[in-house]
Structure 1
Amino acid sequence: MIIIVGLIVSFGLMSFSVVVRNNRATPPMIQQFGNDVVGLGNRLVALPVAGVKNSVSSISNLLNTYQENNRLKKQVQQLAQTKVRDQALTGENQKLKTQLKLNNTLTDYDALTATVIARTPSSWQDQVVIDKGSAAGIKKNMPVLSGKGLVGRIAEVNRTNSKVELLSNTNEAANRFAVQITNKSGETVNGIISGYDNDKNQIEMGNITTKKKIEKGDRVSTSGLGGVMPAGLYIGTVAATGHDDYGLASKIMINPAADVSSVSFVTVAIRQAQTTE
């Protein structure tokens, strides 16, 4: 009975509270106090919860940023490696195109393309080693071309590789070969390659006693005299004219057509009469 009476009184008070609250603009003082206490408690609980939530979110964002930064660093490194490789392939492709264009101009002899496999700093201006030898039909003194013109000759032949003596070789004991200049009038002037000026990057041509007019820009090629090299191999153009140390003969400086300081692929010109089966 007590419980039933208590429930009836409670429901009655609740109904009365609802009626009073609906009829009044503000709740009773006790209810206001209770609401304020509850609101304060909610704020006290909500502030640390919000702080913890923001901290967790910041840490998560920081970890995501760190991981993304690592991924971007790897992509940047891969991009740099790809760029370097692309530049190397582009340069190699350009050299091969130039070499192919050169090979298409060789008509009176067979063209054998080879790759430079060694070039020591001590003999950088003297010689290079290529990956073709006697097994491929190469013989000593055969002309070697690269890029747009002649770069040297075969100096030593092994079974699977050969040494190329470059035009920039300043050794006075190096074998020289006969060349000729074709002037604007179509006349030819014969001479011999006598040296190389490393400071000016120019070939020296001597033993010229003719009085024929030679001008800057005249083409220089092999003459074929002496039986060492075929005629018509392009060497370069006349850069300047002068006289030797004794003043007895003309001295010609030649701008080489090929860059002997950067040789990666070469073409060995083999006379058709010298080819092997």
Structure 2
Amino acid sequence: MSRFLSNKRLILLLLGVILLVALISYSLRDRDNVNFAERLIKDTVGAGQSLFSGPAHFVTGIFDNVDSLLNTYKENQHLKGRLEEFATVQAEVTDLRSENEQLKEIVGKEADLRDYNPVQATVIARNPDQWEEKIILNRGSSDGVEPDMAVMTAKGLIGKVSLVTKTTSTVELISTQNPNYRVSAMVLGGAEGVFGLIEGYDAERRELLLKRIDAQIELEVGQQVVSSGLGGIFPKGLIIGEITEVTIDEFGLTKLAYVKPSADFTLLNHVMIADRAMPDGDEAEAVEEEGS
């Protein structure tokens, strides 16, 4: 009896498998229409999918949005960091380009100083209270620097060494308010042999004062003023500035000219220190006057 039941179950299982295969084969056929049972199953499954897919997509969208926000935040922080790096690099490049241009100008200027011993130097300190009067350089006696050596930029004359240590030197600018500071100067253009002395600085106009010019000599605005070389300290022909105005001095005996400096005293970085042998003979007196 048990064997009969076992065979019956096997037969029913085989019939079920055959029926299932037949249904699958029937459902996979290319047909334009579906029967009622298939339509019912498809509608039921579709409704279930719609019911669960909406919330699932909503939750998935929330996580996707959060993930996108986190990624955007990280990318934003990264880009900010790169932007700061770029700004820093750009500032360094600009500074290096400016420094390179200054050094090129200085190197080119050395060709005009064959009779001197130009020493390149860098401004390392500046007193805010004496911003337009003194600067400190990174060259001293160990580099051959001595007091009264002329100091200039590629744009023109700026002053002379007033104090020297082993590794540094202090430069007194020609824009100083020191009444005893004089520079022997010469006016180019027009009549030859027009000499005078740079004495003083007009802080309001930010211009040098060229004094002791013969009242009979005609000067014009725009004429260039250079060092005469007669003092023995400053090399001849270094540009000092340009005349902007000519007047009669307070005593009415000589003329006074306002000179706009060629060098920018507010922006000094790289400079040159020049030395030359002291002159003999007639130039000795000029040396005394200019160095006093």
Alignment TM-score, normalising by the size of structure 1? 0.85
Query: Is the contact between residue 232 and residue 278 of structure 2 (CA under 8 Å) also seen in structure 1?
Result: no
Pick aligned residue for 2:236 from 223, 231, 237: 231
Q: Pick one of 45, 65, 71 that aligns with 2:78.
A: 71
Residue 88, structure 1, aligned to residue 128, structure 2: no
Question: Would you say 1:169 and 2:176 are equivalent positions?
Answer: yes
* Residues 121-143 of structure 1 deviation map (CA, whole Å, 9 limit, x = unaligned): 11101100011122222222221
Query: Once structures 1 and 2 are overlaid, which stretch shifts more, 217-226 or 137-146?
Result: 217-226
Q: CA, structure 1 residues 129+11, in 2 after alignment: closer, same or farther (shift >3 Å)?
A: closer
1:116 to 92, 111, 123: 123
Distance (whole Å) between structure 1 residues aligned to residue 56 and residue 271 of structure 2 = 76
Partner of residue 282, structure 2? none
State which drifts further: 196-205 or 57-66: 57-66
User: 1:270 & 1:201 partners in 2: Cα distance?
Assistant: 28
Q: What is the match of residue 52 of structure 1? A: 59
Residue 261, structure 1, aligned to residue 266, structure 2 = yes
**Aligned-partner Cα distance in 2 for 1:112–1:154:** 12
Q: CA RMSD in A?
A: 2.9
Does residue 156 of the first structure (1) align with residue 181 of the second (2)? no
Q: For residues 85 and 223 of structure 2, what CA distance do their matches in structure 1 show?
A: 49
Q: Would the alpha carbon gap of residues 68 and 115 (structure 1) be closer, same or farther in structure 2, given more than 3 Å must change? A: same
Q: Does the alignment pair 1:204 with 2:209? A: yes
CA distance in 1, matches of 2:44, 2:245: 104
SS in 1 for 2:109: helix
Distance 1:233 1:24 in 2: 102
Contact 1:204–1:254, Cα closer than 8 Å, also in 2: yes
Aligned to 1:249: 254
Select which of 189, 197, 200 maps to 1:183: 189
Post-superposition offset of 1:25: 5.2
In the alignment, does 2:222 pair up with 1:214?
Answer: no
8 Å Cα contact 2:183-2:197 kept in structure 1: yes
Q: Is the 8 A contact 2:175 2:200 kept in 1?
A: yes
Q: CA offsets, 1:193-243, max 9 Å, x none?
A: 111112222110112225222222222222233444343332122222111
Residues 38 and 209 of structure 1: CA distance in aligned 2, closer, same or farther (over 3 Å): closer
Distance 2:130 2:140 in 1: 20
In the aligned structure 1, how far is the partner of 2:20 from the partner of 2:49? Answer: 24
How many Å separate the matches in 2 of 1:204 and 1:171? 13
Which of 189, 192, 197 is the equivalent residue of 1:192?
197
**What does 1:128-167 correspond to in 2, within 5 Å?**
128-167=135-174
Distance of 1:105 and 1:24 partners within structure 2: 100
Give the count of matched residue pairs.
Answer: 271
Partner letter of residue 143 of structure 1?
A
Aligned equivalent of 1:40: 47
Q: CA deviation at 1:94?
A: 1.4
Structure 1, unaligned stretches of length 5 or more? none
Moved more, 226-235 or 153-162: 226-235
Q: Which moved more, 1:131-140 or 1:19-28?
A: 19-28
Q: How far off its partner does 1:272 sit?
A: 4.7
Which ranges in structure 2 are unaligned for 5 or more consecutive residues? 280-292
- Tell me what 2:35 maps to: 27
